Amino acid sequence: MYILVINAGSSSLKYQLFDMPSDKPLCSGLIERIGTDEAFIRHKILTSVPAQTIERKATIADHTAGLQQMVYLLSDAQIGIIHSADEIQAVGHRVVHGGERFAGATLITPAVKEAIKALFPLAPLHNPVNYKCIEIAEKTFPNARQIAIFDTAFHQTMPAYAFRYAIPEELYAEDGIRVYGFHGTSHKYVSEKASAWLGKPDAKLISLHLGNGCSITAVQAGKSIDTSMGFSPLAGLVMGTRSGDIDPAIIFHLVSNGYSPDEVNDLLNKQSGMQGLTGLNDMRDIRKALEAGNRAAALALDIYAYRIRKYIGAYAAVLNGLDALLFTAGVGENDSAMREQVCSSLDVLNIHLDSSKNSTSSSEIRDVSRAGAAVKILVIPTNEELEIAIQSFELLFPS
């Protein structure tokens, strides 16, 4: 069956079309900078040999226009995969926040849509966009079943002592203030790949999703038992523009010195992290600055790696052992120097990286740990769209 996966960000739209149960996409696409005059579309037809890529700039006012472009490319007379929208039998949607209610793939009903809407305040940049894409897809593909895959769902297995904050009970019971965690779809995908690669279903794993947003998750026997992002995606590791963990008293200090709450929110989410430390948020640009002798870049990279090492130590203790350390997402998969920096000085955990293995690249899982090392260091390309397609198919056809 044809399953279309829609992964919408605040100003972007990724999609893949699968003929399930095959895990090979028929086509994929990315639309960036939605809402600007410099929007960019990259559409790949993967059924042709070699794969055909269409790239062009366009003015795409909103996600509605973006989805219209997607449908046009999918059904184009010359390059299209489908002849009409009726051929799409299911649409899997990435939804960032599912609160405590959703712990797995969910068939979208009016009640589910209302629940997603009720969570807008907890994910104001993403859930409204995810909701809008659901509504557009319902109209565009009226015969398809719409399915939500929540980023928070994988972390619903965390024990209460890991997800509760030490604040008055009513703030949890009435306002839902707790650790939710994010990047769950990615952490689930790579941890399952790692367990299969190791041949160990009960593996103790630490999964590092390092991109512009970063999070680390402790996984045992396929379940999330702790994660670095919290009530929002702001907590935890140092990120591209987010501060990560910070003393909450700093917020009060800033407000008492003239910052408005909105300004503090903007500061910590959009002007901090690597951006705040270096004026740059792309790791590739920071690497270039380091090569040019930029001392701020050197310090920022030290801070970034140090924060990760602290969490690795904490989660190794939580797991009471470790079988493998997993690197994934843009930085995790592609920045060999950061992997080496993170893995340095972790001898006490039996984590030893092989520099020659680490310098190679591949689209497959690869082991970059030293021969004979007790803890494997695995680089695993993530594929959130495939994971969404798999969960959608399994929901419709449970084994």
384 has binding-site annotation: yes
The one-character DSSP state at 36 is S
Reported for 114-117, long-range contacts at CB under 8 A and 24+ positions apart, including other chains, are 116/148
One-letter amino acid of 326: L
Give alpha helix (H) positions in 61-200: 63-75, 110-118, 127-140, 160-163, 169-173, 184-198
288 is in an annotated binding site: no
Q: Report H helices in the chain.
A: 63-75, 110-118, 127-140, 160-163, 169-173, 184-198, 249-256, 261-270, 273-278, 283-291, 295-319, 329-334, 336-343, 355-358, 384-396
Q: Which two tokens stand for residue 44?
A: 């790949």
Q: Is 339 annotated as contributing to ligand binding?
A: no
- Written as six digits, the tokens of 269 are 């989410």
Q: Which of 359, 361, 341, 360 has the alpha carbon at shortest distance from 351?
A: 341
CA-only gyration radius of the chain, Å:
21
| 183 known member of a binding site | no
- The response to whether 364 counts as a known ligand-binding position is no
* 4 has binding-site annotation: no
Is 323 catalytic? The answer is no
Residue 186 has phi, psi (to 5 degrees) of -70, -45
Closest CA to 156 of 116, 201, 98: 98
d(CA 186, CA 326): 11
Residues 150, 167: Cα–Cα separation, whole Å: 26
**Would you say 135 is a known binding-site residue?**
no
Nearest one of 376, 229, 243 to 311, comparing CA atoms: 229
Confirm if 107 and 145 have CB atoms less than 8 A apart.
Answer: yes
> Does 193 belong to an annotated binding site?
no
User: What does the alpha-carbon distance between residue 238 and residue 217 come to, in Å, rounded to a whole number?
Assistant: 15
Inter-CA distances, 348 with 319, 337, 352, 370, Å:
15, 21, 10, 15
Question: According to the annotation, is 330 in a ligand binding site?
Answer: yes
Single out the catalytic residue among 19, 76, 151, 247: 151
Supply 95's token pair: 């939804």
* 223 touches 157 (CB < 8 A): yes
209 is in an annotated binding site: yes
- The response to whether 94 counts as a known ligand-binding position is yes
Whole-number Cα distances in Å, 16 to 24, 51, 189, 221: 10, 14, 16, 29
Contact 278, 286 (CB under 8 A): yes
For residue 14, say whether it is annotated as part of any ligand binding site.
yes
Q: Do residues 325 and 378 lie in contact, with contact meaning Cβ atoms separated by under 8 Å?
A: yes
Please check if 210 is assigned to a binding site: yes
Binding-site residue positions: 7, 14, 94, 209-213, 282-284, 330-334, 384
Which residues participate in catalysis according to the annotation? Answer: 151
Binding-site residue positions for ATP: 14, 209-213, 282-284, 330-334
